[in-house]
Amino acid sequence: MQSINEIENLIKLISKLPGLGPKSAKRIVLKLINNRDELIKPMAKVLAEIYKNISRCKICGTLKPSSVECDFNNCKILEKKYDRICVVENISDQWSIESSNIYKGYFHILGGTISSVGQRKEDLLINSLVERVNRDEIEEVILATSATVEGQTTAYYIQDSLKNSNVKITKLAQGLPVGGEIESLDDGTLFSAFKNRSKINPSSK
Ligand SMILES: [Zn+2]
């Protein structure tokens, strides 16, 4: 293949996306190039808009329009609706839990796990979780991190960070497949994991 810098750069970028290697990245790039007006043009526009207008809330981690405050379901609480927070690693986990309709409450999206490659503890929204729990008088924190070593290490670290907050901390029931990531679970498994969640800090309420 004749090397063209722009194309090479795009292939490199696309191979960084989940589930794609260099081979599929090349196929995608060819598809794009062959559909300049139908794909490249609108995609470039939408990507620029997303980059400019959408960002993660720096407190709770959910996606929101950059120009407005996070909505009252999470951060800007106009009227307190819930007394529990479900802590997940990524936005895709929040989406899975929301679409399964098993949980009503606030969300807190950490933005990864402690030992993810290149992920520093300070980059995860753990301090802001502790602040929210105290400020909003939360009764229960549900740790819904993955059943991976990283997910469980993160859960333990959060439990420790909350040790001075008077809050009940629960963890999704075992029975999550080992290595199971929340986003890949079916609704039935999620349902029983939520329903049978167990309290993990016996000393507090
Ligand atoms: Zn927020």
- Dist. CA 59 → ligand 1 center (Å): 5
pTM, full prediction: 0.79
Mean pLDDT of 98-108: 90
Please determine, looking at this structure, whether the domain spanning 63-199 carries the CATH number 3.40.1360.10. Answer: yes
Q: Is the pLDDT of residue 177 over 70?
A: no
Q: How far is the CA of 70 from the centre of ligand 1 (A)?
A: 4
Is residue 2 over pLDDT 70? no
pLDDT band at 204 (very low <50, low <70, confident <90, very high): low
Alpha-carbon gap, residue 76 to 90, rounded angstroms: 20
Q: Model confidence over 6-34: pLDDT tens digits? A: 999 999 999 999 889 889 999 999 999 99
Domains 5-54 and 63-199 alike in fold: no
C-alpha dist (Å) from residue 95 to 8, 88, 101:
33, 10, 10
Question: How many A from CA of 9 to the centre of ligand 1?
Answer: 34
Q: What is the mean pLDDT of residues 181-203?
A: 81
**How far, in Å, is the centroid of ligand 1 from the Cα of 91?**
12
Mean pLDDT of the chain: 87
Residue 158 Cα to ligand 1 middle (Å): 18
Extract the runs of DSSP E, i.e. beta strands, from 97-145.
Answer: 106-109, 140-143
pLDDT digits (tens, 9 = 90+) for 118-158: 667 778 999 999 999 998 889 999 999 988 888 888 999 99
Q: How far apart are CA 179 and CA 197, in angstroms?
A: 18
Give the distance (Å) from ligand 1 centre to CA of residue 20: 31
Q: Which of the four pLDDT bands, split at 50, 70 and 90, describes residue 196?
A: confident
Pick the CATH number of 5-54 from 1.10.8, 1.10.150, 3.10.290, 2.30.29: 1.10.8
- Residue 60 CA to ligand 1 centre (angstroms): 4
Q: Which of 106, 151, 104 is nearest to 128 (CA)?
A: 106
Say which residue, 87 or 203, is predicted with more confidence: 87
Extents of the domains making up the chain = 5-54, 63-199
Q: How far is the CA of 45 from the centre of ligand 1 (A)?
A: 26
Instruction: Look at residue 116 and tell me whether its pLDDT is greater than 70.
Output: no
Residue 199 Cα to ligand 1 middle (Å): 26
